[in-house]
Amino acid sequence: MSDLRMGIGVHSPITALLAEEAGAEVLWLGSLEMSTSRGVPDREVLEPHEVAEIIRSVRAVTALPIYVDADTGRGSDELAVLATKLYEEAGADAICVEDNLFPKRNSLDDRFGGRELLDPEAFAGRISAMVDARRSLRIIARTEALVAGHEADAAVERLRRYAAAGADALFAQANRASADQLLPVVKEIAPLRPMVLAPTVLPDTDARAFAEYGPVTVLFANVVMRSLVAQTSRVLREVMSSRRLTSVSSELVGVERLFELTEQGRVPGRGPGSGARASHGQENGAATAADEPAPLGASTADAGAERGTRAVAETPTDREWARSLMTESAFDYCAGGAGDESGMRRNVERLDAIRLTPRALRDVSERSTTTELFGRPLAAPILVTPMGLQALCHPDAEVATAAAAHSLGLGFTLSMFSSRPVEDVAPAAPGLWQQLYLLREREVSWSMLRRAEEAGASAVVCTVDVPVVGRRSRDARNRFSRFDAAPPAIVRDPSFLGLLEHRRRRTPSLTAADFLSDVFPDPAVDWADLANLRSRTSLPLVVKGILHPADAKRAVDAGVDAIQVSTHGGRQSDRHVASVDALPAVLSAVGDRVPVLFDSGVRSGAHIASVLSLGASAVLVGRPVLWGLASGGRDGAANALTSLLTELDHTMALLGASNVTDLGAELIGSWEQT
């Protein structure tokens, strides 16, 4: 194998086909090329699931090695790990991460002056986490030290540290139109690790000059996009000016050429057809063991197909399989509870303690779980409860869980601290519910309310059980800061950004995560604030976190449309009464005035049947959906919800209930209330 490999930046299947036809040995899915193709700036705007879609579409037509630009990993070790797993499963062969600060700025973008880099030790930790998470994916560590104005020795020092952290290849980016800036780095690093270079600023330098010192892959990173924009712009202007095709005919290929390109075949296992690409991966040394990284420059197209088919059912439980796929700190954040976690366990144990007495000789050959809430139909009285930062489980985050719930006819509630904004999630679940906290800076809450209404939300859920954040020992042990680890979409809310900019005039170093921690929670929230919220929206208003019957009655008197009995999944206090133990008194206090909803501790369809038999109108579920999401994205979340639906239907049949309305107090057998 030559010490020089040539790669071309692409952004779609057709550009990948053209690059392969031209002789490219590597395909580079660079962030500038991909972002431009989607019409968005190169500032880590593309979500990981969007990048994964591009990877899959390119992998479907070629067996060439695919290197993917992950920018900074969205500024988080946890999200970098999730991207590693997602891109590998989508069919990538290598992932490149850089030591820029999030959100990154393109190395060629000097409009805003100098730039700062991430501490090299912190970046080395990110690389190490990605290495631990991958199966056969190669990790490329990129430094922007030269771009940031540092000398070559500083770039070399950083790259050596990244190599020690486990990076398989090293990437140094230059910003001067002279090879003299880059060559000293190549001379030091190429003998140590394979190098990747993108000589965009070196138009006169022969790529072979870099291969004298060791294995180098040279990427012509954005030639395709720049050529496409230049040529297309010229042709379109000429067509519009002349109103005919004659003047540009010589610059257009015949339609036969399009047929030829798109009918050459697809990679076996990646799409229909077969063709010349079937053996191309082997020519590049493709077939390596799935648990051992392939040599840089090799394609793992065949192994990628195998990776993508691993089933959740291969492990004993969704929870443990999800745990194996997540970072320890991310899993602990999702799985953990407050204090000694006895409150979280008690929620489940008290549901387990309910015994149901079935009715016999009832025709249950046909059963229905359908119901409605606020005039909207549901396939079953089941909704997904609000859970923030779902990108910790899977890059598709709330879009996946919302789509899963909607596909089954179930409800979905979007957390105020969601990873994805309501504008992205609402199309996946039309009529979703929006959860709100009343922040110290109320205008941010009102901004979120307005956006939810504009996106088509059908109800608002105000959470009232967080005057302070619960003390969670797992997070303390892991030194886990949720807003730093996975910045929620709220930090891009216009009102939030305006207030942050105002605060930064006094405190220039204030981060978005610190500001969010300053304004949440607000221990001063009271009944007057709830009345203010009630006056601001005509949507149905649900109050979540009610446990005391007196509070339930007062909330209904204040004009709320539903009560959600909840202990926040045991994440706030380990001394609170179990959610199900609070339910009967709340139901008694409210009567038939408004629906009473329930969450916390629900792990099965039998739990749902028990809660409905006690008198709840609907049940909201949380962690089972998260484990499904972590295990398999939308499909995994849908599998978790389908299991709950199946168990509910089965339990109804065994109880002699042909309709959810048949589930009532007469079915409650032994259950010692506390």
Residue 418 lies in a domain: yes
Assess whether 533 and 403 both reside in one domain. Answer: yes
Residue 502 lies in a domain: no
Q: How would residue 109 be classed by pLDDT, with cut points 50, 70 and 90? A: low
Q: What is the pTM of this model?
A: 0.62
pLDDT digits (tens, 9 = 90+) for 205-264: 787 888 888 888 988 988 899 999 988 888 888 888 888 887 788 888 887 787 777 766
Q: β-strand 195-197 against 216-220: which pairing, if any?
A: parallel
| Helices 342-352/605-614 angle, 10° precision | 80
CATH of the domain at 337: 3.20.20.70
Assess whether 288 and 333 both reside in one domain. Answer: no
Task: Give the mean model confidence (pLDDT) for residues 579-586.
Answer: 98
User: What's the angle, vertex CA 272, arms to CA 266 and CA 278, rounded to 5?
Assistant: 35
Among candidate residues 266, 282, 304, the one where a domain is terminated = 304
Task: Give the mean model confidence (pLDDT) for residues 414-438.
Answer: 97
Lookup: tokens for 594 = 């408004």
Assess whether 458 and 555 both reside in one domain. Answer: yes
Assess whether 93 and 152 both reside in one domain. Answer: yes
Sequence letter at residue 427: P
Task: Give the mean model confidence (pLDDT) for residues 106-118.
Answer: 66
Question: Poorest-confidence range of 115-129, 313-327, 508-522, 564-578?
Answer: 313-327
pLDDT digits (tens, 9 = 90+) for 382-405: 999 999 999 999 989 999 999 999
Assess whether 276 and 349 both reside in one domain. Answer: no
> Which of 441 and 282 is assigned the larger pLDDT?
441
Assess whether 550 and 459 both reside in one domain. Answer: yes
> Mind telling me the catalytic residues?
568
The whole-number pLDDT of residue 531 equals 98
Cα(27)–Cα(32) distance, rounded to whole angstroms? 14
Q: Which domain holds residue 91?
A: 4-221+253-304
Assess whether 23 and 147 both reside in one domain. Answer: yes
Among candidate residues 278, 304, 330, the one where a domain is terminated = 304
Assess whether 264 and 342 both reside in one domain. Answer: no
Residue 486 lies in a domain: no
Residue 504 lies in a domain: no
Which of helix, strand or coil describes residue 256? helix
Assess whether 468 and 525 both reside in one domain. Answer: yes
- The DSSP symbol for 75 reads T
Task: Give the mean model confidence (pLDDT) for residues 171-200.
Answer: 85
The whole-number pLDDT of residue 651 equals 96
Assess whether 284 and 399 both reside in one domain. Answer: no
Cα(518)–Cα(529) distance, rounded to whole angstroms? 19
Residue 282 lies in a domain: yes
CATH of the domain at 298: 3.20.20.60
Assess whether 282 and 390 both reside in one domain. Answer: no
Which of helix, strand or coil describes residue 488? coil
Sequence letter at residue 532: N
Domain count, the chain: 2
